[in-house]
Structure 1
Amino acid sequence: MLLKFAFQDFIEDRKFRNTTSVNIQNHKVLLGGFIDYCILNEVINVEDVSSGHVKSFLMSCQEKGNGASTINTKLQKIRAFLNYMVEEGMIKENPAKKVKRLKEDVKINVFTDEQIQQMLGYYRGLKRREKSYFAYRGYMMIVTLLGTGIRRKEIINLKWSDVDLTNLTLFVFGKNRRRETVLMTEKLVKELSAYSLFCQRHFKTLGEYVFVDSKNNSMTDNSIMLVFQNLQKKMNFSDVRVSPHTFRHTFCHRMAMSGMSAFAIQKMMRHENIAVTMRYVAMWGNDLKEQNDKFNPLNTLDI
């Protein structure tokens, strides 16, 4: 089968499987680069793709400055494509399975208390001076992300009907497309209640979605990206990216540092596999050492 048609067939299959538009676009860009590379090097049919072609493509990406994380992501997309070709009977085995992932220097940045206060202070100031909806929305987004650790797509799709202020819970559709329960604290419920009243006064009616645009319609991937890009420019943090995922990492980090068990963190983060949770916990080993050095009971004993 011609590679270009196999690629098109794969994309159509992802759409049929209800893959998100973001992932579809990632497949088109990251996997599309590999398809173009193969065709340029006269590998026209999917049956002709070898592990050597996969390696040489990834090496060329490395030479262009791609880091280990990007290389591994591209390899993941290539493997998914070739696995699909195996499923469809186009090839007998996946040649990309023989290509090993690169070792990554894993470091996940999180916000400090000072940075969190700076961001909240920025929106508090706007709320006092302008009393604009965008100031209230920005403040409430940060508080919600920090208080629940929900994902970018989940906060975009969050509806008021999903918010149970009485039982202190949120309902979201997670990564696996299942309806999941997220716990809230009384502090977050108080903030959401005040925000709800402001929205009713500002728009004259409470819309369907919790976070909306100027016309009371749901936000898009692009509009929420612009919110955090603007906040990044205002804060000018040099060591951490301002994004919904950084807030999620911060949420996880604070739970790990508080001494919460890995099992409980897994449930709070809604990780399907506890191995994912353990990777996060292991990353903050240095922080745990600092906490142990500071608070170990032996510090107060005269021995």
Structure 2
Amino acid sequence: MDSWKSYIKNYQSYLKIERGLSANTIANYTFDIERLCGYLSVNAIEVSPIKISDETVQQFIYDVSKQVNPRSQARIISGLKSFFSYLIFEDYRNTSPMELLETPKIGRKLPDTLSLSDIDRLIAAIDLSRMDVASGLKIGERDRTMLETLYGCGLRVSELVTLKMSDLFFDEGFVRVTGKGNKQRFVPIGHVTQKYLEIYIGSVRNQLSVQKGHEDTIFLNRRGKGMTRAMVFTIIKDLAEKIKLGKKISPHTFRHSFATHLLENGADLRSIQLMLGHESITTTEIYVHLDRKHLTQVMNKFHPRK
């Protein structure tokens, strides 16, 4: 599979340099191709990405469809289509073996949304007295500030853990956020979020011994290094179990709730799109769903024939 490795490496460079995708997104794209490589290896099929036939790829997709749900299958097909389109773009191939493959129809999956009450309960469940004795880190204070910032600014978890001290513009009322593809945007920061950040930075973070390379990172672990996305996932998962929330949530649930609550309170989609950092407003429409009750309220309030 050496021939595949070189093409995959060049493809990764293309995704990074030409398309400006994040390391995370590139890893997801690569995973789908490596899955195809694994299938070829298991079935002793020696073929390069330049010579692989439609039939071989179709058989791979057929086998995969028995193992994964339609949503995952659609993602794999999309990832492979992108790879073979790149090979055509670079003149390695004339046609794509994906042309006759149809993506399975999937319903729009809307993640669970937290009510304001849910968010208050989750944050209230944080043990503010919790401290790491060795480092002196007030873990509870840090976690409360992280969740307030995650929800208050509608951040992705990757944006939260990479947030810098130099990104805070409290006087102007904004936070500079570095999103997908290293694209920057300015997000308004509310008084509550700003208050907790000031408390955390002034009385918690400044007590830590910060490791080299993390001097500007806001959220630190007990070793004085930046938090990981996995740590934030675990914190939220544990809190949900603690209050018996009954919903499967993740850091992204806070971002989705941020957008939904803004829309329900009268914000327009374009403003929400800018705050979330979505390139297309279509993406915003997917993330920000409305229940029928709210649609009825909008109709009653704004339609001229109400």
| Cα shift at 1:135 | 0.6
Q: Is the 8 A contact 1:54 1:99 kept in 2?
A: no
> 1:141-220 to 2 correspondence within 5 Å?
141-200=146-205, 202-203=207-208, 207-220=215-228
1:114 maps onto 2:122 in alignment? no
More displaced, 180-189 or 10-19? 10-19
Q: Is the 8 A contact 2:185 2:275 kept in 1?
A: no
Q: Note the residue ranges of structure 1 that are not aligned, 5 or more in a row.
A: none
Equivalent position of 2:92 in the other structure: 90
Equivalent position of 1:10 in the other structure: 8
Distance in 1 (alpha carbons) for counterparts of 2:94 and 2:130: 66
Percent of counterpart pairs with the same letter? Answer: 19
Residues 213 and 59 of structure 1, relative CA distance in 2, 3 Å threshold = same
TM-score (norm: length of structure 2): 0.83
Name the SS for the 2:177 alignment partner.
strand
| Cα shift at 1:32 | 1.0
Q: What letter matches 1:257 in structure 2? A: E
| Cα shift at 1:62 | 2.0
TM-score (norm: length of structure 1): 0.83
Name the SS for the 1:97 alignment partner.
coil
Q: Is the 8 A contact 1:30 1:77 kept in 2?
A: yes
1:290 maps onto 2:293 in alignment? yes
RMSD: 2.8
Equivalent position of 1:279 in the other structure: 286
Residues 120 and 93 of structure 1, relative CA distance in 2, 3 Å threshold = same
Q: Note the residue ranges of structure 2 that are not aligned, 5 or more in a row.
A: none
More displaced, 156-165 or 255-264? 255-264
Q: What letter matches 1:14 in structure 2? A: Q
Equivalent position of 1:247 in the other structure: 254
Q: Is the 8 A contact 1:11 1:27 kept in 2?
A: no
Query: Alpha-carbon deviations, 1:99-141, whole Å to 9, x = none?
Result: 2222222222111233212211111xx1146595211111111
Name the SS for the 1:70 alignment partner.
helix
Which of 270, 277, 296 pairs up with 2:277?
270
More helix by share: 1
| Cα shift at 1:12 | 4.4
| Cα shift at 1:272 | 0.6
Name the SS for the 1:250 alignment partner.
helix
| Cα shift at 1:44 | 1.2
1:26 maps onto 2:58 in alignment? no
* Displaced runs of 4 or more, over 4 A: 128-132, 204-207, 292-298
